[in-house]
Structure 1
Amino acid sequence: MNFSRHILATLSLIPAFHAMADTTSYPLTLTNCGMEVRFKSAPNSTVTVGQSATEILYALGLADRVAGTSVWFNPVLPEFSDVNADIERIADNDPSFEAVVNKKPDLVAAQYEWHVGPTGSVATRSQFHDLGIATYIMPADCDTKDNATGGDGTRIAAFSTESVYKGINELATIFDVQDAGEALVADLETQEASAIANAESLELPEDLSAVFWFSSPDQSVDPYVAGRLGAPGYMMDKLGIRNVIQSNEEWPVVGWESIAQADPDIIVVASMDRRRYPADDVDKKLEFLHSDPVAREMAAVKNGHIIEMDAHAMSATIRTIFGLEMLVDALSTMSFDR
């Protein structure tokens, strides 16, 4: 399935919304992830720290305002490959503070608070603000989430795609392109409703269970798997699937013995270009599942119920909706006779 076709359709609709959308009155003040941010005018130059912010700005028609990108998991959506090729990728993973500042941006747009937050791995928001550089963190990473717990944070309530739509609308307001924001959100809402309807039509067994494996520092050590309240939890909820991991942490570390004891019916493994850890490689994940004496005994492995999914879809982004579609398509081809 071409998951990006909807974005292309959205871009073609933008002119029709122009007369309907409001315009931004500057100076603009927003409360973003607990911090007040102020914009005297629409940013002319932005550095993105995270693929989610990058692709949303592209989808809003703002590629010409992006001076540099960083933190990539998967290839950019196909319709943005040409514009993305002309924009400097500062780093595949975390950029340095100096590398970001050297691009002289008006705005740093981040996907994760742990990159640009109170203890940011790139810098704190105050460090950027002291240089006159505004910051914006995607609400999907802080709404319903406590990032002060360390690691990837802990969800205090279930992720909702409303937080993704909120981020789109706020970025559209910051850049005074509300028409594009309205069109993009409307299209994604339609796509989400369609995916949920298709999920409901599958009539899966009521007691179906799953685990989402993102990565591991090494194949032989405990994996990072999805907690129950993040983006994978949203997908499983829409499909009526039980997550065998009941932690509220975004990506807790859980032992294979515990996962094997829960014996999930489905294993969803992340596919990514990133190579921070050996198990980032999806082929290494599959090799482990089929060769490890504990993992290979799980029902999902024996029955071939292993699904590959873009890692970026497992994060709280516009691609989460694409991930739901991907999951529905894969499950429609599987048999779960008990």
Structure 2
Amino acid sequence: MNHRPLTAAALALTALAATGCGARVEEEPNRAGAPATVTVPRCGEEIEYTTPERAVVYEGGSADKMFSLGLTDHVHGYVMPPANPPVTESPWADEYARVEFLSDDLLNRELVVDAEADFVVAGWNSGFSDQRGITPEILDGLGIQSFMHTESCFNYPGHPEEVTPFEGLFTDLERLGAIFGVEDRATELVADYRARVETVEEQVPEGEPVPVFLYDSGTDQPFTAGSQVPPNDIIRFAGGRNIFADLDERWTQVGWEAVVEAEPEVIIILDYGDQPAEDKIGFLTDLPALADVPAVAEENFFILDYNEGISGPRNIDGLEKFAEYLGEHTS
């Protein structure tokens, strides 16, 4: 990947085609046979891409974004940690079957190099990691292009970019569309997803939003969703109020006392990993401190699939399901 700024002469020869995601296509006629490139933001940093042919995607959200754009032929393989639900349950199960399963481990540099990847899609701290030695900068140095989920840029040092979670999803689809030259498909997809969100919003009954607590995991302290992750938008667009929406965080720990004080009427269970959702519900139901919390007393638990809760096209499915649940279980 080339990060050098274009010279004035190159700029004079460059044809710029602006898109909704801020990408620009660059063609340099004096470089015979050179592939066209496109400059697209990556967490606030302008990056020059050529069309990838051997993408490696990490977790369901990354794979789903590529598959939804019809880019299966550009995906070499996927890395799927055990926490992810089986890919056979995915709406894109057939697409997963067409590409290579590379590992059920965390994303790492050796895996990517061994796969001869020319493009890696992942989130910051949920794929890319300083601690594990696989960052966009390290991959840049290896000549491997990378793309980071915009929703995860909130935590990314150096080049911050902050949007609401659903806007992060739409931005990613538009930017991937620009990188792979499928802008029309991306535009169509985003328009469809926006329309589905608007339909849900239009059906929300009048009145105060329903207080909602998302339970990810944790016993001594619960792990939950702040304002910077997709469940926050799922809750608010469906007519709820994330009781921890005032926390300018992504996934974070809180105290049980704060949950009790907020009196949630619905609890969302994020379903993934080795602990079944029913076990999580059992833990919450048996926790004495929560006995008088309305959601527990009335057994108002909604199960959100992991891939509906991380940045990806299935966020919209999760929104529609949760909105339907709220309509049936709250007044």
In the superposition, the TM-score normalised over structure 1's length comes to 0.78
Structure 1 residue aligned with 2:59: 50
Conserved? CA contact 2:43–2:161, under 8 Å: no
Distance 1:319 1:112 in 2: 19
Match of 1:194 among 192, 199, 207: 199
Conserved? CA contact 2:151–2:228, under 8 Å: no
Relative to structure 1, the CA distance from residue 93 to residue 131 in structure 2 (aligned partners, 3 Å threshold; closer, same or farther) is same
Matches within 5 A, 1:118-197: 119=130, 121=132, 123-142=134-153, 145-148=154-157, 159-197=164-202
Q: Does 1:263 align with 2:260?
A: no
Report Cα offsets for 1:68-119 as digits up to 9, x if no partner: 21245334464421220232232335122211211101111113355326x2
Distance 2:189 2:293 in 1: 41
Q: The residue matched to 2:320 in structure 1 has which SS?
A: helix
Relative to structure 1, the CA distance from residue 160 to residue 225 in structure 2 (aligned partners, 3 Å threshold; closer, same or farther) is closer
How far did 1:183 drift? 2.0
Distance 2:330 2:111 in 1: 50
Structure 2 residue aligned with 1:206: 208
How far did 1:225 drift? 0.8
Conserved? CA contact 2:150–2:163, under 8 Å: no
Structure 2 residue aligned with 1:299: 294
Matches within 5 A, 1:1-338: 25=27, 26-39=36-49, 41-71=50-80, 73-76=84-87, 78-112=90-124, 115-116=127-128, 119=130, 121=132, 123-142=134-153, 145-148=154-157, 159-198=164-203, 200=204, 202-203=205-206, 205-206=207-208, 208-216=210-218, 220-245=219-244, 246-272=246-272, 274-275=273-274, 280-336=275-331
Relative to structure 1, the CA distance from residue 79 to residue 227 in structure 2 (aligned partners, 3 Å threshold; closer, same or farther) is closer
Conserved? CA contact 1:70–1:93, under 8 Å: yes
How far did 1:229 drift? 4.2
Conserved? CA contact 1:56–1:168, under 8 Å: yes
Conserved? CA contact 1:94–1:122, under 8 Å: no
Q: The residue matched to 1:215 in structure 2 has which SS?
A: coil
How far did 1:282 drift? 1.1
Q: The residue matched to 1:307 in structure 2 has which SS?
A: strand
Distance 1:282 1:139 in 2: 28
Q: Greater shift after overlay, 251-260 or 231-240? A: 231-240
Conserved? CA contact 1:50–1:112, under 8 Å: no
In the superposition, the TM-score normalised over structure 2's length comes to 0.80
Unaligned runs of 5+ in 1: 1-21, 150-154
Q: The residue matched to 2:202 in structure 1 has which SS?
A: helix
RMSD, matched Cα: 2.6
Q: Identity across aligned pairs (percent)? A: 24
Conserved? CA contact 1:51–1:111, under 8 Å: no
How far did 1:293 drift? 1.4
The AA in structure 1 aligned to 2:139 is F
Q: Greater shift after overlay, 287-296 or 322-331? A: 287-296
Distance 1:247 1:141 in 2: 16
How far did 1:128 drift? 1.2
The AA in structure 2 aligned to 1:63 is T
The AA in structure 1 aligned to 2:286 is S
Q: The residue matched to 1:249 in structure 2 has which SS?
A: coil
Aligned residues: 295
Report Cα offsets for 1:256-297 as digits up to 9, x if no partner: 23312322111111112x33xxxx431221110121212233
How far did 1:125 drift? 1.5
Relative to structure 1, the CA distance from residue 156 to residue 239 in structure 2 (aligned partners, 3 Å threshold; closer, same or farther) is farther
Distance 2:53 2:161 in 1: 35
Unaligned runs of 5+ in 2: 1-23, 28-35
